[in-house]
Structure 1
Amino acid sequence: MVAYKSVPLFGGAIVSDLPDHFADVSKLREVPDNQEVWIDKDGFTSIIFDITERVGGPGTGPEIDGRALTTHLEELVGGDIDTTKVWNTAETEFTKLDGKYPAYTLFATQSPKVGKSQDNSSPDFTAIFTTLIRLEKLNTDILITVNVPHIQGEYDEEDIDLELGKQGKLIGDAVEYSARIWDSFKIKDWDLFGHV
């Protein structure tokens, strides 16, 4: 069973539970001020909290917010969008956030382009769980992304068949991490987002 710890993010303005075996990347290298990046000390999975300017038109709803989620995914994978497959999207509830802030989660996989040089450390594919929280009045989107690279020899290929719903251990862990974040994520200082 995974042990979790409550972690202050963005100088304590936000708190969230993260797996105990994840380390703060900013202690190893520079991270942009609008991001918090945590990486698995025992593997390759990372969890990124990203505060960005809100994308899309005014208003909210599955169509508007869905387009925003797609825009963020395209920015995330860059030129590899044509090798990215979205498996599903769902409305997401954050236990400690007022329900007036819509949130959505997208599950996608991104495969390397055919012909790209493959060395042993290149992933066969990367599973991506991106959760988007929409703070319309603050003109802010919060993205929480769990990236799960699947590198040959580091996972059991027999355990994964996404077409049949077989996710394997690494993706199963990422689902658990995401659910714990949804349950524990709390904004303690709204001044983090500036004044309206």
Structure 2
Amino acid sequence: MFERTSRALFGGAVTAILPSAVLDISDIRQVPDSQEAFLYPKSDAFLSIEVLQRVPPEDDAEAARYHFDVLAEENGAIDKEITEIRALQLEPKKAITSDDLTPSPMFLYGRQKARKFNQPQANEVDILIALFRIVTSKATADVVVSASIPTESTGLVDRDAIKSDFQTLVSSFHILDFALFAPTTA
């Protein structure tokens, strides 16, 4: 298990507790401004936080399912399964710049099977998603916090430790500045 520390994300608009040892993927390759991604050393497991346009389903469970399906499509999954979807009730956290509160997320647990790097055999990956649906007077968005954990081997990292890190990340997720979600003007 890694030591954990609070990190400022998206230029300080969000804070969350993450394992100290994870590598910021933006230090390795280009990552969109709408995403924060962290890789476990010597592993294919990673954590990701992504700010996305709010998807049409108003039902939060259906929206979480939608994001899972999009991820499966992006991964080229040949098989996918959702085993759990449920609402999480977290302690409300108030923003510094407004009266807006970080919403409680919808949690989804699933599994995808996909071929990585043109390998002949598909790899099975556990997918954990916490969907925070943002609605303010100025903007709407979906924030997808996810973990991707290979079921075979995660290198030197314990799978249960990664799941625990994900739970800590989600429970500590705190939006400080909802201007992050405001539409940009050209």
Q: Aligning the two structures, in what range does the TM-score lie when normalised by the shorter sequence?
A: 0.7 to 0.9
Deviation at 1:178, TM superposition (A): 1.9
The secondary structure found in structure 1 opposite 2:15 is strand
Q: How many residues align?
A: 172
Contact 2:92 2:104 in 1 (8 A): no
> Which residue in the other structure is 2:48 paired with?
48
Contact 2:77–2:113 (8 Å) recurs in 1: no
Alignment of 1:41-190 (within 5 A): 41-58=41-58, 64-78=59-73, 80=76, 83-97=79-93, 101-112=103-114, 117-118=119-120, 123=123, 125-137=124-136, 138-151=139-152, 154=155, 169-170=158-159, 172-190=160-178
Distance 1:5 1:93 in 2: 23
For residues 34-45 of structure 1, what are the structure 2 equivalents within 5 Å? Answer: 34-45=34-45
The structure-2 alpha-carbon separation of the partners of 1:110 and 1:148, relative to structure 1 and needing over 3 Å to count, comes to same
Pick 1 or 2: higher relative contact order, CA cutoff 8 A, min separation 6: 2
Of stretches 175-184 and 78-87 in structure 1, the one that deviates more from structure 2 is 78-87
Equivalent residues of 1:35, 1:48 under 8 A apart: yes
C-alpha contact 1:105 1:132 (8 A) present in aligned 2: yes
Instruction: Answer 1 or 2: which has greater helix percent.
Output: 1
Contact in 2 for aligned 1:108/1:129 (Cα 8 Å):
yes
Shift in Å, 1:93: 2.9
Residue 33 of structure 2 corresponds to: 33
What amino acid maps onto 2:170 in structure 1?
W
Q: Which runs of 5+ in 1 are unaligned?
A: 59-63, 156-168
Aligned equivalents of 1:52, 1:78: Cα separation in 2: 16
Contact preservation (8 Å) 1:131, 1:143: yes
Distance 1:20 1:96, change over 3 A: farther
Q: Secondary structure at the match of 2:114?
A: coil
- Percent of matched pairs sharing the same residue: 21
TM-score computed with the length of structure 2 as normaliser: 0.81
Deviation track 1:115-154 (CA, whole Å, cap 9, x = no partner) reads: x7436xx63x101001100113331110001001234595
| TM norm structure 1 | 0.77
Q: Once superposed, what is the RMSD of the aligned Cα atoms?
A: 2.6
The aligned amino acid for 1:182 is V
